[in-house]
Structure 1
Amino acid sequence: MKSRARISLIVVVVIAILASQHFRHKDASPLHEEPASASTAALVAPVKPAPERTWQVGSLTLKPCSLGQPNSGMSTAAWCAPLDVPEDRANPNGRHIKLNLALLRSSAQAPKSDPVVMLAGGPGQAATESYPAVAAAFAPLLAHRNVLLIDQRGTGHSHPLQCGGEEKGAGGIDDSSSSYDEKALRKETQACLDKVSKDADPRFYTTTDAIADLEDARKALGSPQFNLIGISYGTRVAQRYAAEHPEGVRSLVLDGVAPNSLVLGEEFAVNLDAALKAQFARCTADKACHDRFGDTYQTLYQLRDALRANPHQVSFRDPQTYESVKRNLNEFALATVVRMFAYGPETAALLPLSIDAAAHGDVGPLLGQAKLLTGDLGDTMDGGMQYSVICSEDADLLTSRPQDADTILGDKMIEAFKTACSIWPHGTRPAGFHDPLKSDKPALLLSGQYDPVTPPRYGDEVLKGLSNARHLVLKGQGHNVIGRGCMPRVVDDFIDKLSPKTLDTACLERVGPIPVFVGFNGATP
C-alpha cells in the first residue's frame, strides 16, 4: 500500500464561468497543390501557426486542458489557469503558491452568470481529480451554468503536501502487527513533515486558508455569486465560506453533511457501527440471506476477535493483475476494509457474502475489492494536507471514547490523531470556527440512509440553522448521493429555482437499497 494512501487512511475521507465563446478554425491548407507561378507566388506565403486559444474571464487567461482521474481512463475537457496566492496571508511578500483552477464551459449559448463550484472531500482530495468520477451528476448543471473547480491548497496540483517513503500502515497501525504502534506513527509523521517542509509551511493549509483562496478566485473571475456544492469535508468549506462571505453565495448544496460543530474523527467508530447494524438488519430480515449467512454482525465480530488473537499472512489474487499476492491480515486491516465497503450501496450489498467467505478462510472477495478501493483513495488524497486541517481545527477538541473500544473500528484512531498532531505544526483556528451556520441562503442538504461517516442526523443538525433549506435522505444509500437516481435533476432544479421547500422530489422515491448478494451472481430472484 502506498504510504500516501496509508496516511490518508487515518481519516479515510472524513469521507466554466460567465461567458460563452466559440472558436472556428478554417482549413489552413488546400486539398492539393499546383506548382506556383510568378503571378501566384505571392499567394502561397508560409502559413503562420494558429494563435493559441485562450478564454479571458475577469483577470484570468485560461487555456484548454484535460482533467484526468489518477489510475483511470476518465478525463474531462476544461479550461485552466494558475491562481497566484500568498502562502501566509499575514505575510503577502513571503512565499507565493500557485492554485490549480479549472472552468468547465456550459453548453448554453449564454450561460447563467452564477457558476457552480464543486468543493471536494477528504480533507485531502483535489477537485480536478475528483470531478471525472462525478461528472455525470453535474451534466444537467452544465446545460445552464459553468462549473468551477479549484484544487484546495495542499492537494492535486495546488502545491500538494504529498507524503511518501514511509513503510508503516495507516496511522501507525502496521499491517504486520496487531496493535496501534505509536512509535511507528511518530516516525511516519516526522518523515512526512520533513518532506513537505522543504517547500511549504504546513500551518497555512487549513480550511480558513482555502476560504480566502476561494474568495480570491471569485474576485479574479469578476465577483460572481457562487452556487456551492460541498461534498463530505467540502461541506465544511462551504459552510465556513457562507459564514465569512455571504455576499459571494447564491445557493448551497451540502452532500454528506459535516456540521461545523463536528470534531473530525471523534465519531467515526460509532457512526460505522450504527451503519453496519442497519445494513446487516436487511440481511436478517431477508430469509434467503439469513438462511445463508445467519447473523452477519455477529460473524464480523467473531472474525475480528479471531484476527485479534491470531493476525496472520493471507494470499489472494490481485483483481487487476490476477497475480497471487500476500498480505498481513489483522483486526485493523479488517476494520479499514469493512469501513470502505460501507461507503457505497454496491459494496455494502457484498459485505455479508464477503465476511462469510473470509470467516471460512477465503479472503479474496474482501481484500481484492479493498485493494481496488485503497488504490483509488490513495491516489486522490494528500496526507499532509489532512494533517494540516485536522491538527489545526480538530485535534485539541478530540476526547477519548473508551465506549468505542469494542466496536469494529475501535478507539485507536483518536489516539492516532492526537499522536500525529503532537508533531505536525498547527495553524490558527479563528474564533467561532465551530459555531453552527446561521443563514437564509437557499440550501439543499443531501444524506444517505446508511452513511457510515456523515449520517442523516448530521444533516438534521445543520438544517436547524438554515431558514430556507430542505434535507433529503435517500433510502438505502451510503456516503454522497448527488449522483444517485434522479438527484442530478433535482439539484439542477433547486439551483435554477432556489425554492427548496417546494422542490419536486417525487422521483427520488424510486431510489432504494441494492439487494444483498447471497452469491457472486447476485441476490435471490
Structure 2
Amino acid sequence: MSRKTRTLLAVAALVAVLGYRAFKPAPDDAGADQSPASTADVQARPLMLGSLAFRPCTLDSPFSRDSLEAQCTTFQVSEDRGNPQGRKIALNIALLAPDKPDGVLPDPVFFLAGGPGQSAVESYPQIDAAFADVRKRRNVILVDQRGTGRSNLLSCEAPEGDDAGIEAMRAAAAACAATLSKKADLRHYTTTDAVADLDAVRQAIGAEKINLLGVSYGTRVAQQYAMRHPQSTRSIVLDSVVPNTLQLGNIFARNLDDALALQFAQCTGNAACKAALGDPRAELDALLATLRANPVTVRYRDANTGQEREDVLRADTVAGLVRMYAYMPQAAALLPKLIHEARNGRYGDLMALARMMQGDMKDAMAMGMQLSVICSEDEEGMAARDGDETTVLGNRMAEGLAAMCQVWPKGQVPADFHAALSGPVPALVLEGEFDPVTPPRYGEEVVKGLPNGRLFVLRGQGHAVVGAGCMPKLFAQFIDSTDAAALDGACLEKLTYVPPFTSFNGWEP
C-alpha cells in the first residue's frame, strides 16, 4: 500500500467524534494557528461586531491543507456564573465574514464542534467548503467551547497502550483531575455552561437571533440552546444528531456493529469481493479472538517516517481502528481487505494504519472537558449491557468511562436536561445511512417533536455529512429560508456507495 493511500485513509478516519479518549496533552494555546496575517493588519483598526473587536488572523488545521483568513478575538466569561467575582475564562472566538461587507444579514451561523472535546476553531477548516454559499451573506462564528482549543484547554495524559485496564483508566482520570483542578473548577465545563457562554457571545456581537449548525456532540449543544433560548434561535441544523433523551456511555458497541453489518454487506453482496475476501465479519471475529488469546508482535513500516518499527498488535488495537474507519465509508471500504490480510498473517499494513491514526488523533479531543461533560450529564448510562460482550467493542468503553467518572468532579445539569426538544424551531436534521455512532433512527426520533423539522438520510454516508454531495446547497437554502419542507432533496439521489477494496489498488471495475 502506498504512503499516500495510507495517509488519505488515516485522515479520512479523523472525522470521528463522540470519542472517549484523548492521548497526549496539548499546550494551553493549542488549536488552529491564529497568527496575525501581517504587521500592517495588526496595526489596522479592528473589525467591530457589537462590542467585540476582531483582528485579522489565519486559521490553520492539521487536517486541512488550506489556511483561512479570519478575524479573531477573545471574550471573558465567569467560570462559575454563581460567583461572578471568581475565575474568568477567555473564550477564543473566530469570525469568518463575507467578502463583501455590504448587505451582510444580521443572523450569523454558529458552528458547534463535536467530541465532546473538539475545538470549533481548529476543526472548522475541514468543513469550510460546506459553508461556501452560507458565507456569501452571513457571518460564521466559531467559539472554542470552554475547556477546548484556546478556551482554557482541559487536556492531559491518558493511559498508555492498547491494553490499559479499568484501574489504569481510573487512575489516569484521577491524576488528570488533580492536575487540571489547579487551573479550572471542573464542575463548570458542562454543556449547560457552554450554552450560557454562547448566548453571552450572541449578546456581545449584537445578534438578535442566530442559526446553529452542530455536528455530533455539537447537536446536543444546539438542542440545549434551542431549549433554553428559543426566542434567540432562528434555525438549527443537526448533523449526525445525538437526541437530548440519549444517555451516552453504552451506545457505542451496538451502533458500531449495526453499521458494520451494513458496510460489510457491500463486500458480501459483491461477487468479486466475496470471492476474494470471504465474509468480513466472520474474519473480523476470528481475528479478534486470535489476538485476545495471543497478541502478535508485528514489524511494520511507519507511514510517516518510512522507518521499520516493531509493536504489539492487540484485539483492542484492531477494534479501535475498525471503529474509527467506520465513520467514513471511503476508509471503511478498505477494512475487509485489511482484515483478510491480517487473518492470513500479514499484519503490517493494519498495524501501520492503526499507529498513524492514533498519532494523528492524539490532540483531537480534550480529555478533561470530555469527562466534565459526560460524567455530569451521562453517568447513569454508563453500564455494561447484556449481549454487548459479543460486539467488536464489547463493554470495555462503558466500563472504562464509568470508572473514570467515579473520580471526576461533576457539575449540575437542569432537571429537564434529557427532555426531548420540541417546538416550532426550524430544523434540518441530517444522518448518514452507515453512521456507526449516531444512526438514522436517532434523527427519526428527534424530528418527531419538531413540526418544522425535516430529516435527510444520506445514502451510503457515515458520520458528519453536511459536506456530502449537494448537501451544502441544501444547507444554504435552508439557512436562507428556514423552510426545510420546501427543500428539493432529489439531488441527494446522486450519492452512491463506495465499493469495497478487493486489493490495495482499489475495487474491481
- TM-score > 0.5 by shorter chain: yes
What is the aligned partner in structure 1 of residue 125 from structure 2?
A: 132
CA distance in 1, matches of 2:497, 2:41: 56
What is the aligned partner in structure 2 of residue 458 from structure 1?
A: 442
Secondary structure in structure 2 of the residue aligned to 1:379: coil
Alpha-carbon offset, residue 266 of structure 1: 1.4
Alpha-carbon offset, residue 10 of structure 1: 2.7
Which of 484, 487, 494 is the matching residue for 1:500?
A: 484
CA distance in 2, matches of 1:50, 1:412: 50
Which of 147, 155, 160 is the matching residue for 2:148?
A: 155
Residue identity in the other structure for 1:276: L
CA distance in 2, matches of 1:122, 1:134: 16
Per-residue CA deviations over 1:277-320 (Å, capped at 9, x if unaligned) read: 11111111100000001111100000000001001322211111
CA distance in 2, matches of 1:71, 1:273: 27
CA distance in 1, matches of 2:472, 2:348: 35
Which of 93, 99, 117 is the matching residue for 2:85?
A: 93
Asked if structure 1 preserves the Cα contact closer than 8 Å seen for 2:421 and 2:450, the reply is yes
The change in CA–CA distance for 1:75 and 1:379 in structure 2 (over 3 A counts) is farther
Alpha-carbon offset, residue 325 of structure 1: 2.2
Per-residue CA deviations over 1:130-171 (Å, capped at 9, x if unaligned) read: 01111111111111211000000000000000103x5x24xx
Residue 280 in 1 paired to residue 264 in 2? yes
CA distance in 1, matches of 2:445, 2:147: 30
The change in CA–CA distance for 1:8 and 1:247 in structure 2 (over 3 A counts) is closer
Which of 237, 240, 259 is the matching residue for 1:256?
A: 240
CA distance in 1, matches of 2:438, 2:243: 9
Which of 110, 116, 119 is the matching residue for 1:123?
A: 116
Asked if structure 2 preserves the Cα contact closer than 8 Å seen for 1:8 and 1:383, the reply is no
Q: TM-score by structure 2 length?
A: 0.90
Residue identity in the other structure for 1:421: C
Secondary structure in structure 1 of the residue aligned to 2:478: helix
The change in CA–CA distance for 1:514 and 1:8 in structure 2 (over 3 A counts) is closer
Residue 445 in 1 paired to residue 429 in 2? yes
Alpha-carbon offset, residue 371 of structure 1: 3.2
What is the aligned partner in structure 2 of residue 42 from structure 1?
A: none
Asked if structure 1 preserves the Cα contact closer than 8 Å seen for 2:297 and 2:313, the reply is yes
Residue identity in the other structure for 2:276: R
What is the aligned partner in structure 1 of residue 373 from structure 2?
A: 389
Per-residue CA deviations over 1:210-266 (Å, capped at 9, x if unaligned) read: 000000000000133111000000000000000000111111100001000111121
Asked if structure 2 preserves the Cα contact closer than 8 Å seen for 1:196 and 1:384, the reply is yes
- 1:279-358 to 2 correspondence within 5 Å? 279-358=263-342
What is the aligned partner in structure 2 of residue 230 from structure 1?
A: 214
Residue identity in the other structure for 1:355: I
What is the aligned partner in structure 2 of residue 404 from structure 1?
A: 388
CA distance in 2, matches of 1:405, 1:157: 39
Alpha-carbon offset, residue 73 of structure 1: 4.3
Which of 20, 35, 46 is the matching residue for 1:10?
A: 20
The change in CA–CA distance for 1:380 and 1:12 in structure 2 (over 3 A counts) is closer
The change in CA–CA distance for 1:326 and 1:144 in structure 2 (over 3 A counts) is same
Unaligned ranges ≥5, structure 1? 1-6, 14-24, 26-47
CA distance in 2, matches of 1:493, 1:72: 26
Alpha-carbon offset, residue 72 of structure 1: 5.4
Higher Cα radius of gyration: 1
The change in CA–CA distance for 1:364 and 1:112 in structure 2 (over 3 A counts) is farther
CA distance in 2, matches of 1:226, 1:375: 37
- 1:352-431 to 2 correspondence within 5 Å? 352-431=336-415
Residue 66 in 1 paired to residue 58 in 2? yes
The change in CA–CA distance for 1:132 and 1:271 in structure 2 (over 3 A counts) is same
The change in CA–CA distance for 1:74 and 1:195 in structure 2 (over 3 A counts) is farther
CA distance in 1, matches of 2:19, 2:491: 36
CA distance in 2, matches of 1:91, 1:386: 23
Secondary structure in structure 1 of the residue aligned to 2:387: helix
Which of 53, 59, 82 is the matching residue for 2:45?
A: 53
Asked if structure 2 preserves the Cα contact closer than 8 Å seen for 1:315 and 1:327, the reply is yes
Asked if structure 1 preserves the Cα contact closer than 8 Å seen for 2:430 and 2:443, the reply is yes
CA distance in 1, matches of 2:147, 2:77: 13
Secondary structure in structure 1 of the residue aligned to 2:133: helix
Secondary structure in structure 2 of the residue aligned to 1:280: helix
Asked if structure 2 preserves the Cα contact closer than 8 Å seen for 1:156 and 1:380, the reply is no
- When the two chains are superposed, the root-mean-square deviation of aligned CA atoms in Å is 2.0
Alpha-carbon offset, residue 50 of structure 1: 9.1
CA distance in 2, matches of 1:12, 1:51: 38
Residue identity in the other structure for 1:497: S
The change in CA–CA distance for 1:8 and 1:507 in structure 2 (over 3 A counts) is closer
Secondary structure in structure 1 of the residue aligned to 2:212: strand
Residue identity in the other structure for 2:111: M
Residue identity in the other structure for 1:430: P
CA distance in 2, matches of 1:115, 1:505: 24
What is the aligned partner in structure 2 of residue 82 from structure 1?
A: 74
Per-residue CA deviations over 1:420-462 (Å, capped at 9, x if unaligned) read: 0000100001110000000211110000000000000000000
Asked if structure 1 preserves the Cα contact closer than 8 Å seen for 2:313 and 2:351, the reply is no
Residue identity in the other structure for 1:112: L
Asked if structure 2 preserves the Cα contact closer than 8 Å seen for 1:70 and 1:379, the reply is no
Alpha-carbon offset, residue 402 of structure 1: 2.6
Q: TM-score by structure 1 length?
A: 0.88
Alpha-carbon offset, residue 12 of structure 1: 8.2
What is the aligned partner in structure 1 of residue 462 from structure 2?
A: 478
Per-residue CA deviations over 1:50-78 (Å, capped at 9, x if unaligned) read: 94231011110111111121375432111
Secondary structure in structure 1 of the residue aligned to 2:445: helix
What is the aligned partner in structure 1 of residue 179 from structure 2?
A: 195
Residue identity in the other structure for 1:81: T
Asked if structure 2 preserves the Cα contact closer than 8 Å seen for 1:8 and 1:382, the reply is no
Secondary structure in structure 2 of the residue aligned to 1:481: coil
Which of 118, 121, 137 is the matching residue for 1:144?
A: 137
Q: How many residues align?
A: 477
CA distance in 1, matches of 2:311, 2:141: 41
Residue 211 in 1 paired to residue 185 in 2? no
Asked if structure 1 preserves the Cα contact closer than 8 Å seen for 2:21 and 2:365, the reply is no
Asked if structure 2 preserves the Cα contact closer than 8 Å seen for 1:153 and 1:210, the reply is yes
Alpha-carbon offset, residue 190 of structure 1: 1.6
Residue identity in the other structure for 1:248: S
Residue 182 in 1 paired to residue 175 in 2? no
Residue identity in the other structure for 1:217: V
Asked if structure 1 preserves the Cα contact closer than 8 Å seen for 2:114 and 2:217, the reply is yes
Asked if structure 2 preserves the Cα contact closer than 8 Å seen for 1:8 and 1:378, the reply is no
CA distance in 1, matches of 2:321, 2:105: 43
Secondary structure in structure 2 of the residue aligned to 1:313: strand
What is the aligned partner in structure 2 of residue 105 from structure 1?
A: 97
The change in CA–CA distance for 1:326 and 1:436 in structure 2 (over 3 A counts) is same
Asked if structure 2 preserves the Cα contact closer than 8 Å seen for 1:106 and 1:146, the reply is yes
Asked if structure 2 preserves the Cα contact closer than 8 Å seen for 1:119 and 1:237, the reply is yes
